[in-house]
Structure 1
Amino acid sequence: MPVTLQASRLSLYDVESKLHLRQQFTTDDFFTQLLQSSPDLSEFEKQILDRTKQHYSYLAKRPLLEVTVKMVTLSPLLSLAGFYDPPFYTTLEESVEVESQDGSETVRGQIDVLVLQNSIWVVVIESKSVQYDVMMALPQALTYMSASPNHLANQNTFGMITNGREFRFIKLEPTPSPTYTLSKVFSLSEPENHLYLVLQILKSLGQLVISQ
């Protein structure tokens, strides 16, 4: 009988081993190319993102709960990226299960924010407290992405993990063997507003998935 495991308790080593994933240690050319091909942001979009960074900087002086992270940083990004408009729609706290390759274990978990397009998972976003390293969200995100219809249909799946202060994108390729690539870290600790770059990548990913 398969053993059921909770995704939130798995380490990156556990996820890579059970799901036979490996990291592609290359430069983030894919995400760099997305940025280069993305149109410039409007002044209105920049104003909203500047305001978002100001709100975050003020609120981050105290411990931020996960729900606050979602409201302060994620919601404006998802809205400006068009993920609240057709053909996308967003659901919260979606239950997922993924079975290990030999069928002996089932990993179960909850997705914090899930963006879908025609019932296909597009972007998985794991929001964690700002007190923790953004990479703590990677094992869960990879687990959820591995359960997506995109991945199971041998199509690329994209994700983003964040703790509210830092953002990192993931590309999961199913063939010839499951591999994932990480973007560089975009941080609100930098003097320039990295939310500009995050929004440009989100927009490009949305258009990429629609075109495919």
Structure 2
Amino acid sequence: MTLIVDASSLCLNDVHRFLKLEELSNGSFTNFLSLEPLSEFEQQDLLRIRNDFGCYLNARKVSEGLVKFITFAPLMRLAGFYDLPIRLTMEDSIAIAVEDEDRRITGRIDILAINSFQSNIAPPFWVVVIETKNSAIEVGEGLPQLLTYAFKSLEQQPSV
């Protein structure tokens, strides 16, 4: 019998145990990213996004949907995630079968950006995966769920 587990119920120990993922000790992204300095316009836009979110957060708990709308939508536009060949999808279902155990982990990715430039051979490359939570939840609570989705992308690309 296969046990079905929702990805949102996993803790980091579950991710390490079920998916055999390990944390790297250096934790540096410098080898993967080459970033240009922000323009004055980009800095002002980031300040506006921060201030907008702060106003809502000060007034009340911010729902998961509002977090996406107020912060991630403008941030992704600013970062160029609306431009081709990147394609966005929201609330995509994902299922991960763990081979050495009778376990299936399921969940829904809040926001997935993929490089949609495809040859007939290559699958799409996952560019970014976003998991949002409402403002009452500790920011690290979504990490096991996010790592689970990232693990699934290893079927399509060599690293995450």
Report the TM-score range of the alignment, normalised by the length of the smaller protein.
0.7 to 0.9
Do 2:125 and 2:156's aligned partners in 1 also have CA atoms closer than 8 Å?
A: no
**Structure with greater contact order relative to length (CA < 8 Å, sep ≥ 6):** 2
User: Is 1:25 the counterpart of 2:18 in the alignment?
Assistant: no
The RMSD of aligned alpha carbons is 1.7
TM superposition outliers: structure 1 runs of 4+ over 4 Å:
none
d(CA) in 2 for partners of 1:14, 1:2 = 17
Aligned to 1:141: 146
- Structure 1 length normalisation: TM-score? 0.67
d(CA) in 2 for partners of 1:9, 1:29 = 27
1:84 pairs with one of 56, 63, 82: 82
Within 5 Å, which residues of 2 pair with 1:8-23?
8-23=8-23
The offset of 1:33, in angstroms, is 7.0
Within 5 Å, which residues of 2 pair with 1:131-210?
131-148=136-153, 151-153=154-156, 155-157=158-160
In the alignment, structure 2 segments of 5+ residues that lack a partner are 117-123
Deviations 1:146-176 (A, max 9, x none): 111xx1245111xxxxxxxxxxxxxxxxxxx
Aligned to 2:95: 97
The offset of 1:2, in angstroms, is 2.3
Aligned to 1:49: 46
Aligned to 1:106: 104
d(CA) in 2 for partners of 1:19, 1:33 = 23
Do 1:19 and 1:101's aligned partners in 2 also have CA atoms closer than 8 Å?
A: no
Deviations 1:126-150 (A, max 9, x none): 11112222110011001111111xx
Give the strand-richer structure, 1 or 2.
Answer: 1
Q: Which protein shows a greater Rg?
A: 2
d(CA) in 1 for partners of 2:156, 2:51 = 41
- Structure 2 length normalisation: TM-score? 0.87
The offset of 1:22, in angstroms, is 1.1
Change (3 A) 1:93 1:100: same
1:128 pairs with one of 118, 128, 133: 133
